[in-house]
A and B are shown apart, each in its own frame.
Chain A
Amino acid sequence: MAGGIYRKPIMFTIVATVVILIGTAFTMFIPMFTEGMHPKLENLKPYTPLELAGRDIYQREGCHYCHTQTVRPLKAEVMRYGEYSKAGEFAYERPFLWGSKRTGPDLARIGGKYPDAWHYRHFENPRRFFPQSNMPSYGWLKNRKLDPESIKKHMDVLGFPYTEEEIAALSDKTELDALVAYIQSIGRAVARKPVIKTVMKETVREKYLINPFAGDPEAIAKGMELYEENCAMCHGEKGEGDIGPSLIDNVFLYVEGDLPDDDYFEIINNGTFEGMVEEGRTAKGGMPPFGEELQKDEIWYIISYIRSLQGKK
Chain B
Amino acid sequence: MNDYQYDNQTVKGFIVSSIFWGVIGILVGLWISVQMWAPSWNIPPYFTFGRLRVLHTNSLAFGLGVGAIFGITYYIVMRLTRRSLLFPKLARFHLYLFNIAIALAAVSLLAGMNQSLEYAELEWPLDIGVVILWVIFAINVLGTIIKRKEEQMYVSLWYIIATVVAVAVLYIVNNLSVPAGLFKSYSVFSGVNSANVQWWYGHNAVGFVFTTPILAMFYYFLPKSTGLPIYSHRLSIVAFWSLVFAYLWTGAHHLVYTPLPDWLQTLGIVFTMFLIAPSWGSVINGYYTVGADWSKMRTNYLTKFFIFGITFYGLQTIQGPTQALRVVSSLIHYTDWVPGHVHMGTMGWVTMTVAASIYYIIPRIYKTEIYSVRIANIHFYLVLIGQLIYSITMWITGIQQGAMWKAINPDGTLKYTFIETLVRNYPYWQLRTLGGVIFTIGMLFFIYNIFMTIRKGKALAVSRA
Interfacial residues, chain A to chain B (CB-CB below 8 A): 6-7, 9-10, 12-13, 16-17, 19-24, 26-28, 31-32, 34, 36-39, 56, 59-66, 68, 70, 72-77, 79-80, 85-87, 89-105, 126-127, 130, 132-138, 140, 150, 153-154, 156-158, 198, 291-296
Contacts and interface: CB of A to CB of B under 8 A. Distances in A.
Contacts of B426: 132
A140 B190 CA distance: 31
Nearest to B190: A94
Interface string B18-42: 0000000000000000011111001
B195 A96 contact: yes
Interface in B101-152: 112-118, 142, 145-146, 148, 151-152
22 contacts: A9-B148, A12-B158, A13-B161, A17-B169, A21-B248, A23-B246, A23-B247, A24-B248, A28-B251, A38-B191, A59-B116, A60-B112, A61-B51, A72-B330, A85-B259, A87-B260, A93-B191, A95-B189, A95-B195, A101-B336, A154-B184, A295-B409
A293 B258 contact: no
Contacts of A60: 112-114
B192 A37 contact: yes
B197 interface: yes
Given A28-B200, A65-B53, A140-B45, A127 B39 contact: yes
B414 A9 contact: no
Interface string B214-253: 0000000000000000000000000001001111111110
B334 interface: yes
- Which of B38, B198, B248, B268 is packed against the most chain A CB atoms within 10 Å? B248
A293 B414 contact: yes
Given A77-B405, A93-B194, A95-B115, 8 more contacts: A13-B142, A13-B165, A16-B162, A17-B165, A23-B246, A27-B249, A100-B338, A104-B422
A198 B165 contact: no
A80 B405 CA distance: 8
Contacts of B405: 76-77, 80
B257 interface: yes
B50 A65 contact: yes
B267 interface: yes
A24 B169 contact: yes
Interface in B386-445: 405-409, 411-414, 417-419, 422-423, 426
Interface of B: 35-39, 42, 44-45, 48-51, 53-54, 112-118, 142, 145-146, 148, 151-153, 157-158, 161-162, 165-166, 169, 173, 178-181, 184, 186-198, 200, 241, 244-252, 254-255, 257-261, 264, 267-268, 271, 330, 333-336, 338-339, 405-409, 411-414, 417-419, 422-423, 426
Given A90-B259, A132-B422, A292 B414 contact: yes
Given A19-B244, A87-B191, A97 B422 contact: no
Nearest to A158: B186
B145 A9 contact: yes
B414 A22 contact: no
A133 B39 contact: yes
Nearest to B166: A20
A37 B193 contact: yes
A310 to B, nearest CB: 26
A301 to B, nearest CB: 14
Contacts of B188: 94
Contacts of B200: 24, 27-28
Given A62-B114, A292-B413, A293-B414, A100 B35 contact: no
